[in-house]
Amino acid sequence: MNRHKIPAIWDIDTRALVLHIRKHGALRGIVSTDGTAADQLIFEAKQLPLMAGQELASHVSCNRAYEWQKGSIELASSPWAEQMGESAASTENSERFKVVAYDYGIKQNILRLLVDHHCDVTVVPANTSAEDVISLKPDGVFLSNGPGDPEPVTYAHESIRKLAGRVPIFGICLGHQLCGLALGGKTFKLKFGHHGSNHPVKNLLTSQIEITAQNHGFCVDPESLPSSDVEVTHLNLNDHTNEGMRHKNLPLFSVQYHPEASPGPHDSHYLFTQFTDMMKEFAHPGSSRS
């Protein structure tokens, strides 16, 4: 740990720390190894910015657009081909979809899975305008995960509003929260946030339970969404918060958790197929995927 400069703490009552956080919520903290007095460290910790109100997506996004072509592993057929009921030949001949992926802090495994699901992906910076995206003539738009508070990412709210109805949209995590705001809803900061790979989520459309990976501190308030236009599709079984939604009339859906989680769980990979099905239906109304 010294060699790799990894900090660690020891000789504290970890149970007391956990109970303190459970009572007061996620807190700012500081670790010091130089003997600085506790009062000074407390003062320095209080100077750290709160997560609420921070617009971080533009700080972690790419600077320019780029193409992504790498799938999960280098095989002639997708590693999910068997799961999706496809042969190598059908994978090669499958309809391809041009997807523009907004980078708010995107994870590479999202890009790999999009490629696995027959998508040609162009990744664009977080502040790319809706007009510039439409000029690329995509079959679909993906809204990525990312850090920070979704509320001050106003440029994304505007772009999503302009894109909604013109092209199929799929959002994950921060992308889900941005969809909620763009559709007229509100977000709030969770007391603890959801972190880890064992969160049970109920798909309200199928009544199936998915074990999911999550990493977020904000949530879309389902009561704030216009019920005439938006339907909640997924529910967190730990605290009953909103984990997914879809527009009733437009080709748009999103989830709060991470269906692309690597190495797993993989319960929610079907959402990528749902996205390609939506793009196919939008391009060819009345068609169905065999």
DSSP string, 60-108: HS-SS-EEE---SSS-SS-TTTTTTT--HHHHHHSPPEEEEEEESS--H
Whole-number Cα distances in Å, 282 to 95, 128, 201, 251, 265: 13, 23, 28, 8, 30
Domains of the chain: 14-47 (no CATH), 57-283 (3.40.50.880)
Residue-wise pLDDT for 261-275, tens only, equals: 988 899 999 999 999
pLDDT score of 284: 83
What's 283's DSSP letter?
H
Residue-wise pLDDT for 14-49, tens only, equals: 999 999 988 998 888 888 888 899 999 999 999 999
Question: Is 76 a residue whose pLDDT tops 60?
Answer: no
What would the mean pLDDT of 138-147 be, rounded to a whole number? 98
Question: Is 228 a residue whose pLDDT tops 90?
Answer: yes
Strand partners, 124: 102
pLDDT score of 79: 53
Residue-wise pLDDT for 193-221, tens only, equals: 999 989 999 999 999 999 999 999 999 99
Strands (E), the chain: 66-68, 97-103, 119-125, 140-143, 169-172, 186-203, 209-221, 230-236, 242-247, 252-255
Cβ(48)–Cβ(219) below 8 Å: no
Percentage of residues of the chain with pLDDT beyond 70: 92
Cβ(98)–Cβ(119) below 8 Å: yes
Residues identified as active-site: 173, 258, 260
Cβ(271)–Cβ(110) below 8 Å: no
The rounded mean pLDDT for the chain is 91
Model confidence band, residue 245 (pLDDT cutoffs 50, 70, 90) = very high
Residue-wise pLDDT for 80-136, tens only, equals: 545 544 444 344 557 899 999 999 999 999 999 999 999 999 999 999 999 999 999
Residues whose CB falls within 8 Å of the CB of residue 41, separated by 6 or more in sequence, listed in order = 30, 32
